[in-house]
Amino acid sequence: MTLLTVWNENDPETPVLETTDDAEILAELTKLGARFSHWEVKDFAADATLDEIFALYTDEIEAVKQQEGYTLVDIMGLTPGQPGYDEAKGPAREKFLSEHRHDDDEDRFFAKGAGVFYLHVNGRVHALYCEPGDLVSVPANTTHWFDMGTEPEFTSIRFFHEHDGWVGHFTGSSIAEKFATFDQLYARRKELAAA
Give the angle subtended at the CA of 118 by the CAs of 113 and 123, to the nearest 5°.
165
Residue 34 · residue 143 · CB < 8 Å: no
Give the model's pLDDT for residue 165.
67
- The whole-number pLDDT of residue 144 equals 97
Question: What is the structure's pLDDT at 84?
Answer: 77
Domains assigned to the chain: 3-194 (2.60.120.10)
> pTM of the full predicted structure?
0.94
119 Cα distance to chain centroid: 10
Residue 54 pLDDT: 98
Across the 195 residues of the chain, what is the mean pLDDT of every consecutive 10-residue run?
Answer: 97 97 97 96 94 97 96 91 78 83 94 97 98 97 94 93 82 96 96 91
- Alpha-carbon span 192 to 11, nearest angstrom: 22
Q: Rounded to a whole number, what is the distance in angstroms from the first to the last CA of the chain?
A: 13
